[in-house]
Structure 1
Amino acid sequence: MRTILNIIWLIFSGLWMALGYALAGIICFILIVTIPFGIACFRIAGYALWPFGYRVTERHDAGLASGVGNVIWLVVAGIWLAIGHILAGISFCVTIIGIPFGIAHFKMVPVSLMPLGREIVPTAQTYPGYRWSQPGYNT
C-alpha cells in the first residue's frame, strides 16, 4: 500500500516539492555559509519524494547550533514552507481519496519549520522493541 501511495504522491505532489527543496539546497550550497541548510533541504527533498513509510524523529545529540540555525530557518523560509504544506494539505483533504496525501503534507510541517536536529527514518525503526529506536544506536 505504501508503494502505491508513494507513486501517486510522486505524480501529484512529491516531484514538484522535491525539485523545489533541491533547488533551495543548491542555492544554499552556492552561498557557502548556508551549507547546513542545504544539507537539510536535500534530506527533506528525499522525504518529499517518498513520505509514506518514513517519519521524522528528533535527534537528541543536536546542540545549540542546530537550535540557532532552526530559528534563522524559521524566520527566513520555515514559515513560508509550513504555510505551503498546510494549504496543500487542506486542499488534498477536500476529497476522500486525497486525505492520505493531505496527512502527508501535515506530517511535513514540523520538518519544514525546523529541519536541523531532526532525522528521517523508516517507520518501523521508531517502534519500541526495535534495535534502531534505542538511544545511542546511531552514534
Structure 2
Amino acid sequence: MRTLLNIVWLIFSGLWMALGYVVAGVICCVLIVTIPWGIACFRIAAYALWPFGHRVVERRDAGVASGVGNVVWLIFAGIWLALGHITAGIGFCLTLIGIPFGIAHFKMVPVSLMPLGREIVRSDAAYPSYHWSRNPVT
C-alpha cells in the first residue's frame, strides 16, 4: 500500500515539492555559508519524493547552533516552503481520496519550518533511540 501511495504522491505533488527543495538547496549551496541548509534541503527533497514509510524525528544531540540555524532558515525559506505544504494539504483534503496526501503534506510542515536538528528515518526500522513509544520521564 505504501508503494502505491508513494507513486500517486510522486505524480501529483511529490515531484513539485521536491523540486522546490532542490532549488532552495542549490541556492543555499551556491552561497557557500549556507551549505548546511542546502544539505538539509536535499535530505528533505528525498523525503518529499517518497514520504510514505518514513517519518521525521528530532535529534537529541542537536545543539544551540541548530536552533539558531533554524531561526535563520525560518525567516528566509521555511515560511515559503511551509506555505506550499499547507496550500497543497488543504487542496488535497478537499477530496476524499486526497486526504492521506493532505495529511502527508501537513506532516511535512514542521520539518520545512525547522529542518536542522531533525532526521528522516524509516517507519518500520528499529531505531531504539528514536522509538515513537519511548517517552523518557524526567
* TM-score (norm: length of structure 2): 0.91
Equivalent residue number for residue 59 of structure 2: 59
Equivalent residue number for residue 68 of structure 2: 68
Give the one of 129, 133, 136 matched to 2:128.
133
Amino acid in structure 2 at the alignment position of 1:2 = R
Equivalent residue number for residue 49 of structure 1: 49
Amino acid in structure 2 at the alignment position of 1:33 = V
Displacement of 1:103 in angstroms is 0.4
Q: CA RMSD in A?
A: 1.0
2-structure distance, mates of 1:75, 1:5: 32
Equivalent residue number for residue 93 of structure 1: 93
Displacement of 1:20 in angstroms is 1.5
C-alpha offsets along residues 3-30 of structure 1, whole Å, 9 cap, x if unaligned?
Answer: 0000000000001111111111111111
- State, as a whole percentage, how many aligned pairs show the same letter: 77
Equivalent residue number for residue 134 of structure 2: none
Displacement of 1:111 in angstroms is 0.2
Deviates more, 1:42-51 or 1:74-83: 74-83
2-structure distance, mates of 1:83, 1:18: 14
Equivalent residue number for residue 116 of structure 1: 116
Q: Secondary structure of 2:124's partner?
A: helix
2-structure distance, mates of 1:104, 1:133: 24
Displacement of 1:133 in angstroms is 2.4
1-structure distance, mates of 2:64, 2:71: 11
Instruction: Name structure 1 gaps, 5 residues minimum.
Output: none
Instruction: Name structure 2 gaps, 5 residues minimum.
Output: 131-138
Amino acid in structure 2 at the alignment position of 1:134 = S
* TM-score (norm: length of structure 1): 0.90
Equivalent residue number for residue 18 of structure 1: 18
Counterparts of 1:75-86 in structure 2 under 5 Å?
75-86=75-86
Q: Secondary structure of 2:76's partner?
A: helix
2-structure distance, mates of 1:86, 1:106: 6
Q: Secondary structure of 1:96's partner?
A: coil
Displacement of 1:87 in angstroms is 1.2
Displacement of 1:134 in angstroms is 2.3
Equivalent residue number for residue 37 of structure 2: 37
